[in-house]
Amino acid sequence: MGKKTKIGLAAAAVGAAAWAGSKALANPQQRPAKEVLNYERPIVLAHRGGSKLAPENTMAAFNRSADLGVHGFEIDIRMTNDEEILVFHDEFIDRTTDGAGRVADMSLDQLKAFDLGYHFIDTDGNHSYRGKNERVVLLRELIEKFPQMFINIDIKDDPATYEGSLVPSKLWRLIDSLGAQDRVVVTSFFDEQIDRFNLYAQNRVAIGAGENEVRKAYTAYNSQFGHLYQPRADVFQIPVKSSVFRLDSPRFIAFLESLNIPVHYWVIDEQDAMRDLIGAGAKGIITGRPDLAVEIISDME
């Protein structure tokens, strides 16, 4: 036996021993159950209220999706300069021909002057919501108006900004004051924002996975050391693909399910894709076309 072969076999033996040792010592912890994630059938979450059917993040969109029978909403939040938590996605507001500005630099009263239906074009190609008084919505208003709805809240403000530094504590106090702990999920692309929020919530609210947490889970899944992964999220809301990596395989979904972590996929607007994901084990479809998704879920019942 050659020297290189001996070295290779020794390295393999060391690797196998390390794997066996880690397997024996590992104690993977399932995430504790959260009431908001207690459902048996896949759910439909209307993306920004159902952004392909009505102007995003407006009461028109939320009301229409609720009437269709969705299970909840997937929304973004930003903070105004008078520290109100707004249901809004973009950093800048530019929804009419006569105004634009950064959300964090404007007051709630200033933002209420904007027509959120101005640029929206419906499925028939019409500006059907222009001038129909569709205004910005406060998170408080949304939670109070739809007490039966699952609401997935995505913190958009960067933790390095002034508004981003305030929003985790403000959000927790709002959720707590409304008694909505069991009706919401809080997440962010910024893992730091999720961690900050949970310092206040102390695991009393379900939390999603930031970009780093998703990366950590996928790396563990693809390695021989998936048994060492200790999740810090209760639910994953992810795209089907990140860079060159597919995140929609049945095995990856099952890996997370074994840790009591359901997977929701965004933004899925085609019915064939919805069927494929549900068939692979997805527990939630986040969509701008809730009419199509509700139809598919209804067909399953």
The CATH code of domain 34-90+138-300 reads 3.20.20.190
Q: What is the pTM of this model?
A: 0.88
pLDDT of residue 227: 81
pLDDT of residue 52: 95
pLDDT band, residue 31 (cuts 50/70/90): confident
The pLDDT tens digits for 244-263 are: 889 999 999 999 999 999 99
Can you give the residue ranges of every domain in the chain?
A: 34-90+138-300
Q: What does the alpha-carbon distance between residue 147 and residue 178 come to, in Å, rounded to a whole number?
A: 10
Torsion of the alpha carbons at 290, 57, 147 and 267, rounded to the nearest 10: 40
Q: Which one from 47, 71, 119, 264 is the annotated catalytic residue?
A: 47
Q: Alpha carbon of 148 to those of 1, 42, 111, 177, 263: distances in Å?
A: 70, 17, 28, 17, 21
pLDDT of residue 225: 72
The pLDDT tens digits for 284-299 are: 999 999 999 999 988 7
Q: How far apart are the first and last CA of the chain?
A: 63
pLDDT of residue 231: 94
Q: Which two tokens stand for residue 47?
A: 């993306």
Top pLDDT among 244 and 97 is at: 244
Q: What does the alpha-carbon distance between residue 261 and residue 4 come to, in Å, rounded to a whole number?
A: 44
Q: Which one from 71, 89, 119, 227 is the annotated catalytic residue?
A: 89
pLDDT of residue 98: 61
pLDDT of residue 123: 83
**89 is annotated as an active-site residue:** yes
In the predicted model, is pLDDT for residue 40 greater than 50? yes
pLDDT band, residue 243 (cuts 50/70/90): confident
243: left (phi over 0), alpha (psi -120 to 50) or beta: left
Q: Which two tokens stand for residue 199?
A: 């310092």
Query: SS3 for the chain, per residue?
Result: CCHHHHHHHHHHHHHHHHHHHHHHHCCCCCCCCCHHHCCCCCEEEEECCCCCCCCCCCHHHHHHHHHHCCCEEEEEEEECCCCCEEECCCCEEEEECCEEEEHHHCCHHHHCCCCCCCCCCCCCCCCCCCCCCCCCEEHHHHHHHCCCCEEEEEECCCCCCHHHHHHHHHHHHHHHHCCCCCCEEEEECCHHHHHHHHHHHCCCCEEECCHHHHHHHHHHHHCCCHHHCCCCCCEEEECCEECCEECCCHHHHHHHHCCCCCEEECCCCCHHHHHHHHHHCCCEEEECCHHHHHHHHHHHC
pLDDT band, residue 301 (cuts 50/70/90): low
The pLDDT tens digits for 99-129 are: 678 999 999 999 999 999 998 998 888 999 9
**47 is annotated as an active-site residue:** yes
Indicate the average pLDDT of the chain: 89
The pLDDT tens digits for 169-223 are: 999 999 999 999 999 999 999 999 999 999 999 999 999 999 999 999 999 998 8
% of residues, the chain, pLDDT over 90: 78
pLDDT band, residue 10 (cuts 50/70/90): very low
In the predicted model, is pLDDT for residue 22 greater than 70? no
In a 3-state reduction of DSSP, which class is residue 280? helix
pLDDT of residue 21: 44
pLDDT of residue 24: 41
- C-beta atoms surrounding 147 within 10 Å: 10
In the predicted model, is pLDDT for residue 20 greater than 60? no
In a 3-state reduction of DSSP, which class is residue 2? coil
